[in-house]
Amino acid sequence: MNELTEILNRKELSRNDIIYLLSLEDKASLDSLYKKAYETKVKYVEKKVFFRGIIEFSNICAKNCYYCGIRKDNKKVKRFMMTEAEILEGAKWAYQSGYGSLVLQAGERMDEHFVDLVEKILIDIKRISDNKLGITLSLGEQMPETYRRWFAAGAHRYLLRIETSNIELYRSLHPADHDFNFRFECIRQLRKIGYQVGTGVMIGLPGQTIEHLADDILFMKNNDVDMIGMGPFIPHKDTPLADSLGNFEEKKQSQLELGLKMIAVARLFLKDVNIAATTALQSLNRVGRELGLQAGANIIMPNITDTKYRDAYQLYDNKPCLDENSTICKQCLKNRIATLGETIGYNEWGDSPHFLEKNKC
């Protein structure tokens, strides 16, 4: 048996195994890795994709992450905040379209007005969907009391990417007042309150090594996450990291590949969690999300934001689906998933088996 086969057949991967797998480059080895990850996915989470319709309801952000296109200091972005009626309209569409759950994402704000508004929207979404639509929030760092209020109002999952589990790398990507430890504490609080917790990282960041990425996978396991949302870093032209990877056209393929390897290894290592095939994969390759599903992901987050706002919500360049609407994306994804021979879990929350197992009486 060669070394790769031996590693792929191990029950538990070590840090060195993870580093080995993330370093693979030749096509035959990568195919074996993806194949094994796909088998693991089918075994633990079936051949079923769950949709989380995402509404990116505001690009107003109080923070200044160096990599992000809607960072506060990017004056070229026209800021918007959808009205409550527009957000509810989107939620209604998701519900009627059989999307079992919804993600509400926006730039980060901790002000009282925002906290109250989100609370009200959560209550209203639950009301109009007969309590049936699951709601995931992706609204960044907040005070524990805010997380508690939003949980009580009906949110049951929260996505907060740690971005990188390496504190020095984190510091190199954020201004000094963006605090890694506070972010980490938020993840702990979310779990304590009872949310299903998702985290993730950006992949292929300037200064990031394979060892950092291996530690990111260990971080996710050690923190017992239920969901993973991670994707390749894609430079945005109006940010301090615009040129940080040199000529990005030449890097697209390796960024995509690294993103797929991370999904595959995360599937092999964490087994029964939900893993998203993120939109960032698709901006690198026309079929990037399908490749993500084939490498072990089982979640897709179709954009259901009103088309008129999509242009202003670009965290990275070349974001797909800017001119399409929710109905076009729904049909498009349905066709794409059918080509893979997978089914779509309509009208189901699709909680990760990992979460369900932990919460069994």
Binding site for ligand SF4 (CB under 6 A): 61, 63, 65, 68, 70-71, 107-108, 140, 315
Q: How far is the CB of 46 from ligand 5AD (least distance, A)?
A: 27
- Number of residues in contact with ligand 5AD under rule CB under 6 A: 12
The residue (of 9 and 181) whose beta carbon lies closer to ligand 5AD is 181
Torsion of CA 155, 161, 165, 170, to 10 degrees: -130
Find which of ligand SF4, ligand 5AD, ligand FES, none residue 316 binds, CB within 5 to 8 Å per kind: ligand 5AD
36 binds ligand 5AD (CB under 6 A): no
CA distance 28 to 24: 10
202 binds ligand 5AD (CB under 6 A): yes
Q: How far is the CB of 314 from ligand FES (least distance, A)?
A: 15
Please say whether the beta carbons of 342 and 49 come within 8 A: yes
**Sign for the pseudo-dihedral over CA of 172, 175, 179, 183:** negative
22 binds ligand FES (CB under 6 A): no
The residue (of 37 and 61) whose beta carbon lies closer to ligand SF4 is 61
CA distance 350 to 226: 12
Q: Which residue is nearest to ligand 5AD (CB)?
A: 316
The amino acid at residue 252 is K
Mention every residue, 6+ apart, whose C-beta is less than 8 A from residue 357.
272
333 binds ligand FES (CB under 6 A): yes
Q: How far is the CB of 174 from ligand SF4 (least distance, A)?
A: 8
**Sign for the pseudo-dihedral over CA of 30, 255, 340, 268:** positive
Strand pairing partners for 303? 54
Find which of ligand FES, ligand 5AD, ligand SF4, none residue 202 binds, CB within 5 to 8 Å per kind: ligand 5AD
Q: Which of residues 274-313 bind ligand 5AD (CB under 6 A)?
A: 280
Strands 231-232 and 48-58: unpaired
Please say whether the beta carbons of 194 and 151 come within 8 A: yes
Q: How far is the CB of 45 from ligand 5AD (least distance, A)?
A: 23
CA distance 69 to 161: 17
> Which one, of 326, 283, 241, lies nearest residue 56 by Cα?
326
The residue (of 166 and 326) whose beta carbon lies closer to ligand FES is 326
Q: How far is the CB of 288 from ligand SF4 (least distance, A)?
A: 20
> Which one, of 310, 301, 296, 234, lies nearest residue 267 by Cα?
296
Find which of ligand FES, ligand SF4, ligand 5AD, none residue 321 binds, CB within 5 to 8 Å per kind: ligand FES
Question: What's the number of CA atoms in the CB half-sphere (13 Å) around residue 135?
Answer: 30
329 binds ligand FES (CB under 6 A): yes
Find which of ligand FES, ligand 5AD, ligand SF4, none residue 337 binds, CB within 5 to 8 Å per kind: none
Find which of ligand SF4, ligand 5AD, ligand FES, none residue 324 binds, CB within 5 to 8 Å per kind: ligand FES
> Which one, of 78, 76, 195, lies nearest residue 139 by Cα?
195
* Token output for 324: 């399409």
161 binds ligand 5AD (CB under 6 A): yes
**Site residues (vs ligand FES, CB under 6 A):** 302, 321, 324, 328-329, 332-333
**Site residues (vs ligand 5AD, CB under 6 A):** 67-68, 161, 163, 202, 231, 233-234, 236, 280, 315-316
